[in-house]
Amino acid sequence: MLAIFIRSIIIYIIVLIVMRLMGKREIGQMQPFELAISIMIADLASIPMADIGIPISNGIIPILGLLVMHLIISILNIKSSKIREFICGKPTILIYKGRIDEQKMKKERFTLNELEEKLRSSNVMNLGDVEFAILETSGDISVIQKPNKRNTTPEDFNIMPDYEGISYNLVIDGKIMTENLKKIGKNYDWLQKQTQKFQIKPEEAFIVTMNEKANKYCKKKLTSKEMKIKTKKEGDF
């Protein structure tokens, strides 16, 4: 049992490292070759974990081989558009200038129900509001609505909003994000003064954030006693 436990941990660490090296895509955003490699890695990892009679290297070496293949294919995709089109395919326009292309729908084996479902996930409830719908190589649908149905933007009213930039996490669950403090040119003493305005210390904060316009958000971390009281109150409903 101990051997299986240790082998499982080793395989898990290897798979985790390999998946991190493969990139940050979500499952729905994976290209076909990436999804195939991910499935094969899962299958290869399960074999040496379950059977201690199989050398652990029989699982690790093929997984590393798949990682090498993934890196090679990724490089080829970057270097050649023809290879990328052969491996990943190319986007298909399912709705063109407001008209559904039935031929393309049949070719991609895409039903109207699936199309409507994808449109709803893009907050489009009416097929008649769509100017273009493009089936991407990852399987996602990119939707461009008709001009009169699109959300308005400040540019439509000749308004230029103030620049806000990104928001930096300065404290997460009581832990000081030192690197982020350095990025904004601040230190612990400055952070302490900011949290004092909320009558807490930095270590007592659940989260502290600040954007480039110096807008701050701070929330105090609940104590164990406060957590128990909150849990008890929620359990009364």
Q: Chunked in runs of 10, what are the mean pLDDT values of the chain (237 residues)? A: 75 78 61 76 79 80 85 83 79 90 89 88 87 86 86 78 81 92 92 91 92 86 76 59
pLDDT at 38: 80
pLDDT at 237: 47
pLDDT at 29: 62
Neighbours of 48 (CB within 10 A): 22
pLDDT at 171: 93
CA pair distance 74, 29, nearest whole angstrom? 15
Handedness of CA 197, 199, 203, 205 (dihedral sign): negative
CATH numbers and ranges of domains, the chain: 2-86 (no CATH), 92-149 (3.30.240.20), 167-222 (3.30.240.20)
3-state SS assignment for residue 97: coil
Give the residue among 211, 170, 219, 218 at the shortest CA–CA distance from 190: 170
CA pair distance 140, 30, nearest whole angstrom? 10
3-state SS assignment for residue 153: coil
pTM: 0.59
pLDDT at 132: 92
Phi, psi of 131 (to 5 degrees): -90, -50
